[in-house]
Amino acid sequence: FWVRGLIIDTLRGNFLKIDRHKYVRLAYHGFSPISSDLRKHLYSRAFNKMPSFTERHFVNMDTVFQHVDAHLFALLVDLKDKGEHEFLDLKTYDGIYRQVRECIDLCHRDGVIKDEAALNPEKYIIPDPDMVPMLQKMKES
């Protein structure tokens, strides 16, 4: 589901795939696809106004590390929309995204993730028998 190059619209809880002309090709709200008509209404060009996707509420997913952020955010968007959790009713999508980012940053900062992986590396690191030959070829070239 997650690929590099997606844009997260934290204001609306949407995930966008745009082309090189900044046309939104695909859009999801959480894990639910957005209809073509709604997608065009939300993100199509208005007369003389081209969306830039550079505003604060647009986040470019340009590293695989952001897949964690995206997945957690999509899950919380879906939970919020179901309306079964009162504490989410009081939050905006943007507020939820900012809290997800803060929590992930905290996990990295205090070493929780690295410490766990260091205790049991075989659980988290999958050996690839082709890795060493590939690196040797790269070094030789």
Q: At what angle do helices 93-109 and 66-82 cross, to 10 degrees?
A: 140
Q: For the segment 102-131, what is each residue's pLDDT rounded down to a tens digit?
A: 998 888 888 878 888 889 989 988 889 999
Strands 32-33 and 58-61 turn out to be unpaired
Q: Give the C-alpha separation, 2 to 13, whole Å.
A: 15
Please report where in the chains the tokens 């745009």 appear, as a residue: 18
What is the overall mean pLDDT for the chain?
89
Q: Give the C-alpha separation, 114 to 105, whole Å.
A: 13
- pLDDT band (50, 70, 90) for residue 136: very high
What pTM, to 2 d.p., does this model score? 0.77
State yes or no: pLDDT of 63 exceeds 90.
no
Q: Give the C-alpha separation, 94 to 58, whole Å.
A: 10
Is there a contact between 4 and 63 (Cβ–Cβ < 8 Å)?
A: yes
Which range is most confident: 61-70, 116-125, 129-138? Answer: 129-138
Give the model's pLDDT for residue 113.
Answer: 80
Q: How far is residue 75 CA from its own chain's centroid? A: 11
Beta strand residue intervals within the chain, DSSP E: 6-9, 14-18, 24-29, 32-33, 58-61
Write the CB contacts of 121 (distance below 8 Å, at least 6 apart in sequence). Answer: none
